[in-house]
């Protein structure tokens, strides 16, 4: 059974990202938030792979309750 994710914060993290492939930390254990550093090993949780095709500002979920990972959907506003 998978462990529960650990929220990094109760607010989204806005970041300017360049084109490329990224892995969003779904477990909350990374030391490089919001990106995976492999700390999920043994938790039963997996990072979310996503691709960026052009430079842009993205809002990453840090509460780990989003229904649109890796992006914030406002779930942090609801108890």
Does some domain include residue 37?
A: yes
Does some domain include residue 31?
A: yes
Counting the structural domains of the chain, the total is: 1
For residue range 26-61, what is the model confidence (pLDDT) as tens digits? 999 999 999 999 999 999 999 999 999 999 999 999
Instruction: Name the residue range of residue 51's domain.
Output: 13-77
Residue 79 pLDDT class (50, 70, 90 cuts):
confident
Q: What is the pLDDT of residue 1?
A: 76
Residue 76 CB coordination number (10 Å): 18
Q: What is the pTM of this model?
A: 0.93
Q: What is the pLDDT of residue 2?
A: 87
Q: What percent of the chain has pLDDT over 70?
A: 100
Mean of the per-residue pLDDT values of the chain: 96
């Amino acid at each position: 059974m998978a462990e529960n994710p650990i929220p990094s914060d109760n607010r989204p993290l806005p970041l300017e990202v360049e084109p490329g492939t990224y892995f969003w930390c779904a477990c909350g254990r990374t030391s490089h938030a919001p990106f995976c550093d492999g700390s999920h090993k043994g938790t039963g949780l997996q990072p979310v792979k996503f691709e960026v095709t052009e430079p842009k500002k993205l809002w990453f979920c840090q509460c780990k309750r989003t229904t649109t990972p890796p992006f914030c959907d406002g779930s942090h506003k609801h108890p």
